[in-house]
Amino acid sequence: MTRRRGRLLLVSSSGGVLLDLLALEPFWSRHDHTWAAVRAADTESALLGHPVRWLEEKSISRPFQLLHGLAESVRILRSERATAVLSAGTGVAVPFFISARILGIPSLWIATLNLIRTPGLAARVCSRLATTVLVQRDSMSGAHPGAVVVGELY
């Protein structure tokens, strides 16, 4: 009997979040995957040749935009038949983590190294909703009890 692999949805904005996810290519390239990404110069060039669902950057602090993001994330999760969500967490990722929780889809959130002070709202929401939190240094475990230390990604 052949075991069907899951379909991974990678959620990203541009910049450091994209770099963190790209660093995990040895993992996600072994799985069927689709990107849900904010269109920007770096995301367009880095994701050339990959299946991508382009997103608009939305502010989670505005209720209408959050509701729109939730509806869009549910549509994408269902149409892509995602079995897991992976992101380093930005405002665009929040609706996907909320929807994944509601739909019972496992989610993995990566704590980025670029946080100098207290994590922002998006990072706090994503880390609390994630099924698994991945951190890049042992010192980050204190802020995320039960997190899996994966080492520095790049």
Would you say residue 59 has pLDDT above 80? no
- How many helices and strands, by DSSP H and E, does the chain display? 6, 7
d(C-alpha 1, C-alpha 3), whole Å: 6
% the chain with pLDDT above 70 = 90
CATH of 7-149, one of 3.30.70.580, 1.10.10.10, 3.40.50.300, 3.40.50.2000: 3.40.50.2000
CA 60 to chain centre: 15
Residue length, the chain? 154
Give the pLDDT confidence of 86-108 residue by residue, as tens digits.
Answer: 999 778 999 999 999 999 999 99
In a 3-state reduction of DSSP, which class is residue 7? Answer: strand
d(C-alpha 80, C-alpha 114), whole Å: 30
Give the pLDDT confidence of 70-88 residue by residue, as tens digits.
Answer: 999 999 999 999 999 999 9
Q: Where are the domains of the chain?
A: 7-149
